[in-house]
Amino acid sequence: MALKIEATNVSAYFGDKQVLYDINLGINEAAVTAIIGPSGCGKTTFLRTLNRLNDLSPNFKMVGRITLDGEDIYAMNPVDLRRRVGMVFQKPNPFPMSIFDNVAYGLRLRQIKDREFIRSKVEHALRSAGLWDEVSNRLNHSAFELSGGQQQRLCIARAIAVDPEVLLMDEPTSALDPAATARIEELILSLKEEYTIVLVTHNMYQAARVSDYTAFFLNGYLAEYDMTDNIFTKPRDERTQRYVTGRFG
Amino acid sequence: MALKIEATNVSAYFGDKQVLYDINLGINEAAVTAIIGPSGCGKTTFLRTLNRLNDLSPNFKMVGRITLDGEDIYAMNPVDLRRRVGMVFQKPNPFPMSIFDNVAYGLRLRQIKDREFIRSKVEHALRSAGLWDEVSNRLNHSAFELSGGQQQRLCIARAIAVDPEVLLMDEPTSALDPAATARIEELILSLKEEYTIVLVTHNMYQAARVSDYTAFFLNGYLAEYDMTDNIFTKPRDERTQRYVTGRFG
Amino acid sequence: MNNSSSSKTEDKIFRSVAFAAAALSAAAVFLIILFLTWPALKALLEVPVAELWHTRWNPAGYTSQSWGIIPFVAGSLWVTLIALALAVPVALLASVFSTQFVPEKLRSMTDFIFGTLAGIPSVIMGFLALTVVGPLIAKVFGLNSGLTVLNGGIILSIMIMPTMVSTLADAFEKIDPIYAEGALALGATKWQAALTVLYRFVRPAFFASILLSFGRAIGETMAVIMAIGNVALIPRSPLQPGETLTGVLAIEMAETVVGSLHYNVLFLIGLLLLISTLIVNYLSELITQRTRVKVQ
Amino acid sequence: MNRISERLWILFSAVAYSIAVLFVIWVVVYLFSLSKNVISLSFIFSRPTLGMTEGGIVTPLIGSLYLALWVAVISAPIGVLAGVYLAEFAPDNGVTRLLRSTIRTLSGVPAIVYGLFGLAFFVRALNMGLSLLASALTLSIMNLPVIITTTEEAVRLVPTAQKEGAISLGASSWRVWRDISFRYSISGMLSGIFLALSRALGETAPILLTGVVFYQPSLTLDPRRTFMALPYHIFILATQHTNRTKVLPIAAGAGFILLMLVLAVRVLGYIYKRRVQQWL
Amino acid sequence: MNFAEKLAEINEMLAEMGGLVEDAIVKSIRTLVDKDPRLAQEVIEVLEPRINDLERTIDEESLIALARYQPVANDLRRLVCILKIDKDLERMGDHAENISRRAVKIIQEPLLKPLIDIPRMADLAQSMTKKALDSFFQEDVDLAKEVIESDVVVDELQEQIVRELISYILGDAKTVNKALDLMFTGKDLERIADLATNIAENTFFLVHGEDVRHQGPHGD
Amino acid sequence: MNFAEKLAEINEMLAEMGGLVEDAIVKSIRTLVDKDPRLAQEVIEVLEPRINDLERTIDEESLIALARYQPVANDLRRLVCILKIDKDLERMGDHAENISRRAVKIIQEPLLKPLIDIPRMADLAQSMTKKALDSFFQEDVDLAKEVIESDVVVDELQEQIVRELISYILGDAKTVNKALDLMFTGKDLERIADLATNIAENTFFLVHGEDVRHQGPHGD
Ligand SMILES: Nc1ncnc2c1ncn2[C@@H]1O[C@H](COP(=O)(O)OP(=O)(O)OP(=O)(O)O)[C@@H](O)[C@H]1O
Ligand SMILES: Nc1ncnc2c1ncn2[C@@H]1O[C@H](COP(=O)(O)OP(=O)(O)OP(=O)(O)O)[C@@H](O)[C@H]1O
Ligand SMILES: [Mg+2]
Ligand SMILES: [Mg+2]
Ligand SMILES: O=P([O-])([O-])[O-]
């Protein structure tokens, strides 16, 4: 299995405050890698370094090296990087446009004008996100008419419409009810054939259910990284053990 | 084990819409009864009939009979009923007052003036809610300075300060992170000796962890009611089976 | 597809245009202060402060002009305080009623009505003061003319009340229902819940809006001119006429010679108004920020 | 608290509430009943005659509308863009903070003070003389803080999640603004602009010192000329005219029309806001 | 992979394990009947190790399934049953291996007596194994009952074998070694049938959530 | 009740079950040694049924613990081990019962030979049982190793017993019944030791998460 993303000695700071310490982590291609850990341990920060979204914070600083297919992401144009590394957020964030325009947004940003092409891309993305059947007859309705779970699937469709290689997901189900969560999890499982997925989740059991690899972060350090099967049945690190068995204080 | 609350043939309507159908359910004293079921099945509505909080909705109507210690709750003054049946909400809702005043609020509502008495009640309630050690040195600080989990425990303290007999809890941890959730769950377990607790939860596993009895609601009907051990190891109803094993739709 | 360069130029244009607009606005702020202060400073050089703080205003006196502005300060305070005294309790009660007891469907309509009330141009309010409220006061109190500070206060109270109601209603509305329910679940009545819990959320907005209303009332010009008779004397009771700081500006400015002492003193009054409203606004902002209830 | 006092308080508040509601209705009805004999199409479309004791209000009406148009054209773009700058791009430093709080407090400065400024700056210093342009600029300056503040607040309320969503798809800050922030903040910006418009229609004090006159025989679109305006017209008729009984209905009629205009602007703003919000 | 898929995977392994066990039983006895030591060798060298491996794999995968999918209700009961069943199957494999080892020894010399009861027992044991697993997979309580009832027949056959062999020994003490070998073979078969019964009991537990073990008269 | 309390409860039951099994082993052999059928009766009528009950209760409570607390990592491994161990203990109880039943028969007549190896085996089996459970509770891998190593000794003793008894039968075919009884008793003890070994293997799994079963040479 090939490494799609490789973080080498990554440390990150907000102002004077160091929030990631010397992370070394390889993300495998066409697999789901979950990042778990207590609140504030740096999961989100790490995820957002991968598409350089942290760079928007003026006081953010990163040292170390992150590569995408071997290429340093800081040698890339961030706009190109973000085309290749899509992101899905904690709360569904559909744009105030129609369902169709939401999915087409990324394509139009790239100056694509061919209507037929856009149409087919949108349909394909919605199908992949398991949303087509529910929305095909109301593509020009506002995206806000959808339920929370549908909105989140729309956001996933929007992300995959531009053919990214990697999908970053930051607690994508934390705002959803269990039924919608289950659908998203099924979706994640079905998407991993085509995309490399990095999933931050508060819900340890979610990591257990959907991921192939699990990274356990603690106080900004990568405490353990292993196959998910091992993390949840025989973690090597004492702290991981304590965390997954809910004995963390 | 005695029945503290008994609902007999309870149906409920919002306007023309029936949301509860002929519920018959006895709540056991000094135990935790969990109410689970898919979104919109009527859990919250049922819970809020128990302290007549639904009566605030102008178009709410209930038929059937609910008794507290054998006495019809509609024969009681709602203010008295609500003193005996406390409630904890989905989101922590501390009042914009000091920590102390929050807990004293219910006592003061009852025109209690004796400062020493109030003080001792507040302390006792905060202790029972496992919050005393964290706040005893800043009782006059704003309640909003507390973390989410602390706020929720404060709300529990506020509810128990007036010596209720029953505690209704509507998804009390759904706004909290896992660590805070674990603390509240421990608290619920420790409170059940003294209080009859009815807990609505979205999180089936939470019901499994903390409750003694579980009621499974479906589309406004009580589909199954049994000891929690049975519900989660050998439910009798096919639909319960499907729900708890996550195969619901 | 490399479009990053075109998006960069778009970006640059957008940012610069926005910056230019902001700079222009900043320049306006600067000019306002400059052009008000300059004549006012000139007035201060000629008229000693002691002379300003005096009860006689007589700019036209050939031998001895006197520049006492106390009558205007008094007139402004009279109308403003009367207005607040009438409007504040009504606004608080009305906002509680409209948010806690009016059915939800009616609420947006009443919002609209209060908005409309706030938007009635001040000349129309002045017209009403002149033709309705004034005569009514004259009749009730047996006066020759109803154009008194009471008249001004009443009309002002109607003008400031709707904004107060909307501000307070918004503040009430914004409170998550869980707080009211929390109080009710502890056995409070609706009114108790509103007064003991919800009011605490609204309190900063309440005080801020009192201050803002004060600022608005003291700055109101046309309606007051039309209502209070415009006599440069200190009103001894609400039933006497008076003149306000704004009134003297509106009435006398047009008749002054540009650059004259009279002209400059009027600017000084203008600056006084500016400063007092700045202070009031600043205080209200301070209150809102200091006491904003932080809900997680 | 016992039930009786609870009920009593509710009653008080109901009364307070109804007074306000009834007052609005009364104002409209009163103005209309005073003027119902004079109001007609020709009242709207004819000029005041016979020392304003006869005729209509077309000159002040057009003057007010024309003034409002100028105000909108001047203040809306500058105000909106400045608001956007403050919300999105301004560096978080002392200068910005000072500017922001000054702008905020300026929105509470009395209209007459702006009149003084307009007189000193536009009329005198820039030598525009008493003119519609001077009035329009004065009103624009007065409205800027309102538009800037409402815009800034509206833009600030745009959810970060949506903005980051667009950024993570590779959008530039211009596209983020155009596609996301604008859509979210348009209703807030519009409410500022509509407020500005209604003030341009209704305010008297600022134009009093900068260009409005009580009588002008002919209509002109030249902004360098003085102009008539509805509020001032009403003021003059109600307070300065010798033949009060004769002009009072005319003043009321003008008041009624002015009120309707202001209301129309509000309703328009209201409808538009709802339409926009339906998308959200 | 979701829970259903994981469960299917585990079920498949369990079915394979069951098949191997049946195979091992058949081949261990056919060693005796056909006098073919290669069959025994296959059981010892291929089947039994494979069965052991499967037990480990099934345990591991079940553990993973429990950890990853947090099953409850019948999903959980099923996994717990699987953890119990694979242990039984593994024991059955061991017994088949024992039979095979002994068989290799037995067929080196002429048989003490013609084999009648032992092949019958083996047939029964094998079909009980099959039925037990089928009843589990198909949640077929009636089939499980059949298995449990068959156990008595096996027990009787076993006692009969012991009695018969004792009479051989009494007739000629020299036959003791051969007789003991056959006796132990019978005992192994009886244990296999017992274990099949255990498996069948899981079906009740799975379907009704009730534990029917140790409710009849005690038997070894 | 939280998970830790539940687990403590289950552990306690398991410890009790282990104690009962030891008791049953001791008493089943003491029946032979002391010639006291009341001991056997206690095993058959009290201890074994109690062991059966405990197995069912432990299974049930473990199932509930799994369903309610959704354990993972070592908590989960522990519960899975418990589900395996209680089955082993129950089998040990069965074997002790077998010994007891046979003992009642044996002691009605004079013994074939003085009992030496069988009590030794019983002692060993009992101490292995104790150590196995202790190793599990204390997560003591070294203790578990000891148990596994002891198993060879038991196996040797068992073979020795068989050889010896065959020689008795060859000497006098009449002794076959008595000899067989003792032989089967030895076999039962050997099985008990085997099962103790199984339990000990769980300790490795619990502590290291690795499965050490079937890694040594195959044994029954
Ligand atoms: N923009 C920021 N400025 C300053 N500090 C920040 C910023 N973003 C995050 N942090 C800090 O960095 C640390 C790591 O935050 P991060 O959001 O990555 O944690 P997390 O593991 O995602 O937590 P959670 O589970 O609560 O989402 C925290 O201490 C947080 O306070
Ligand atoms: N005030 C109300 N007016 C009208 N309908 C209501 C009202 N409150 C609830 N309902 C309806 O009653 C039904 C039951 O709602 P309820 O809130 O009890 O469900 P729930 O089981 O608590 O759902 P959830 O898990 O989403 O909280 C739903 O269909 C809901 O739309
Ligand atoms: Mg995070
Ligand atoms: Mg038994
Ligand atoms: O291994 P057994 O349980 O059949 O002795």
**Residue F70: its chain A contacts at CB < 8 A?**
205
- Name the burial class of residue D54, with classes exposed (0-12), middle (13-18) and buried (19+) by CB atoms within 10 angstroms of its CB: middle
- pLDDT for B179 equals 82
Residue C254 lies in a domain: yes
Mean pLDDT for the stretch of residues A76-98: 91
Mean pLDDT for the stretch of residues A40-54: 94
Smallest CA–CA distance, residue C283 to chain A, in Å, is 32
Distance CA C220, CA C214 (A): 10
Mean pLDDT for the stretch of residues E153-170: 92
Ligand 2 lined by B20 (C-beta under 6 Å): no
Residue C51 lies in a domain: no
Residue C59 lies in a domain: no
- pLDDT for D5 equals 78
Same domain, C197 and C259: yes
The tens digit of pLDDT for each residue in A183-208 reads 899 999 999 999 999 999 988 889 99
Mean pLDDT for the stretch of residues B19-29: 96
Contacts of F106 (CB under 8 A, 6+ apart): F32, F178, F181, F182, F185
3-state class of A170 per DSSP? strand
Domain that holds residue C239: 66-295
CATH code of the domain in which C117 resides? 1.10.3720.10
Mutate to test the interface with C, among D235, D240, D266 (most CBs of C within 10 A): D235
Question: Which element (helix H / strand E) includes A197?
Answer: strand A196-200
- pLDDT for F217 equals 44
Same domain, C178 and C79: yes
| SS3 per-residue string spanning C8-30 | HHHHHHHHHHHHHHHHHHHHHHH
- pLDDT for E214 equals 66
The tens digit of pLDDT for each residue in C114-166 reads 888 888 899 999 999 999 999 999 999 998 888 999 999 999 999 999 889 98
Residue C75 lies in a domain: yes
Same domain, C86 and C14: no
Q: Which residue has the higher pLDDT, B72 or C113?
A: B72
User: What is each CA distance from A201 to A171, A217, D220, E54, in whole angstroms?
Assistant: 5, 11, 68, 34
Ligand 5 lined by F189 (C-beta under 6 Å): no
The atom number, within ligand 2, closest to the CA of B59 reads 3
CA of A42 to the centre of ligand 1 (A): 6
What percent of chain E shows pLDDT beyond 90? 80
The tens digit of pLDDT for each residue in D191-245 reads 888 888 888 888 999 999 998 888 777 777 888 888 889 999 999 888 887 777 7
Strands A85-88 and A17-28: unpaired
Q: Is the pLDDT of residue A98 over 80?
A: yes
Distance CA E77, CA E85 (A): 12
Same domain, C31 and C135: no
Q: Given an 8 Å threshold on Cβ–Cβ distance, is C1 in contact with A110?
A: yes
Contacts of B67 (CB under 8 A, 6+ apart): B5, B6, B8, B73
The atom number, within ligand 2, closest to the CA of B48 reads 18
- pLDDT for C47 equals 83
Q: How many CB atoms lie within 10 A of CB C177?
A: 11
Same domain, C37 and C89: no
Number of domains in chain C: 2
Ligand 2 lined by B41 (C-beta under 6 Å): yes
Q: Given an 8 Å threshold on Cβ–Cβ distance, is F67 in contact with B232?
A: yes
Same domain, C224 and C80: yes
Q: Given an 8 Å threshold on Cβ–Cβ distance, is E80 in contact with F63?
A: yes
Same domain, C11 and C94: no
A171-185, B225-239, D34-48, E49-63: least confident range: D34-48
Mean pLDDT for the stretch of residues D168-196: 87
Q: Look up residue B52 and give its DSSP letter.
A: T
User: In chain A, whose CA is at the least distance from the CA of B243?
Assistant: A179
The tens digit of pLDDT for each residue in E163-204 reads 999 999 998 888 888 899 999 999 999 999 999 999 999 999
Nearest CA to E58 out of E109, E7, E92, E127 is that of E7
For the complex shown, is ipTM > 0.90?
no
Q: Is the pLDDT of residue E217 over 80?
A: no
What percent of chain D shows pLDDT beyond 90? 32
**Residue E77: its chain F contacts at CB < 8 A?**
63
Q: Given an 8 Å threshold on Cβ–Cβ distance, is C15 in contact with D175?
A: no
Same domain, C10 and C93: no
Q: Is the pLDDT of residue D73 over 60?
A: yes
Residue C144 lies in a domain: yes
Same domain, C42 and C169: no
Distance CA E182, CA E157 (A): 13
Smallest CA–CA distance, residue E127 to chain F, in Å, is 23
**Residue A186: its chain E contacts at CB < 8 A?**
2
Ligand 2 lined by B44 (C-beta under 6 Å): yes
pTM here? 0.83
Choose one of A39, A41, A55, A170 to mutate for the ligand 1 pocket test, by most ligand atoms within 8 angstroms of C-beta.
A41
Same domain, C85 and C191: yes
Q: Is the pLDDT of residue C271 over 80?
A: yes
Distance CA A98, CA A126 (A): 13
Confidence of residue B6 (pLDDT cuts 50, 70, 90): very high
CA of B179 to the centre of ligand 1 (A): 17
Q: How many CB atoms lie within 10 A of CB F49?
A: 15
Asked if A175 has any chain D CB less than 8 Å from its own CB, the reply is: no
Q: Closest CB to A208: pick one of F72, F75, F209.
A: F72
Confidence of residue D266 (pLDDT cuts 50, 70, 90): confident
Distance CA A48, CA A20 (A): 12
- pLDDT by residue for chain F (220 residues), tens only, comes to 789 999 999 999 999 999 999 999 999 999 999 999 999 999 999 999 999 999 999 999 999 999 999 999 989 999 999 999 999 999 999 999 999 999 999 999 888 788 889 999 999 999 999 999 999 999 999 999 999 999 999 999 999 999 999 999 998 888 888 999 999 999 999 999 999 999 999 999 898 877 776 665 444 4
- Give partners of B (≥3 CB pairs < 8 A): A, C, E, F
**Residue A204: its chain F contacts at CB < 8 A?**
72
| SS3 per-residue string spanning chain D | CCHHHHHHHHHHHHHHHHHHHHHHHHHHHHHHHHHCCCCCHHHHHCCEECCCCEECCHHHHHHHHHHHHHHHHHHHHHHHHHHHHHHHHCCCCHHHHHHHHHHHHHCCCCHHHHHHHHHHHHHHHCCCCCCHHHHHHHHHHHHHHHHHHHHHHHHHCCCHHHHHHHHHCCCCHHHHHHHHHHHHHHHHHHHHHHHHHHHHHHCCHHHHCCCECCCCCCCCCCCCCCECCHHHHHHHHHHHCCCHHHHHHHHHHHHHHHHHHHHHHHHHHHHHHHHHHHHC
Asked if B13 has any chain C CB less than 8 Å from its own CB, the reply is: no
- Domains of chain D plus CATH, in order, are 41-279 (1.10.3720.10)
Distance CA D234, CA D230 (A): 6
Q: Is E35 left (phi over 0), alpha (psi -120 to 50) or beta?
A: left
Q: Closest CB to C25: pick one of D27, D113, D144.
A: D144
Q: Closest CB to D167: pick one of A56, A159, A162.
A: A56
Mean pLDDT for the stretch of residues B53-81: 92
- State both tokens at A43: 């999961």
Same domain, C153 and C220: yes
Q: Given an 8 Å threshold on Cβ–Cβ distance, is A56 in contact with D164?
A: yes
The strand pairing partners of C67, in sequence order, are C57
Same domain, C83 and C42: no
Mean pLDDT for the stretch of residues C236-252: 91
Question: Mean pLDDT for chain B?
Answer: 92
CA of F79 to the centre of ligand 4 (A): 21
Q: Given an 8 Å threshold on Cβ–Cβ distance, is A232 in contact with F73?
A: yes
Q: Is the pLDDT of residue E215 over 70?
A: no
Ligand 1 lined by A77 (C-beta under 6 Å): no
Distance CA D248, CA D91 (A): 55
Q: Given an 8 Å threshold on Cβ–Cβ distance, is E2 in contact with A229?
A: no
Residue C52 lies in a domain: no
Confidence of residue C296 (pLDDT cuts 50, 70, 90): very low
Longest dimension (CA), chain F: 64
- pLDDT for D279 equals 59
**Residue E208: its chain B contacts at CB < 8 A?**
234
Q: Which residue has the higher pLDDT, C123 or D41?
A: C123
Confidence of residue C5 (pLDDT cuts 50, 70, 90): low
Smallest CA–CA distance, residue F48 to chain A, in Å, is 34
Residue C54 lies in a domain: no
- pLDDT for E135 equals 96
What percent of chain B shows pLDDT beyond 70? 98
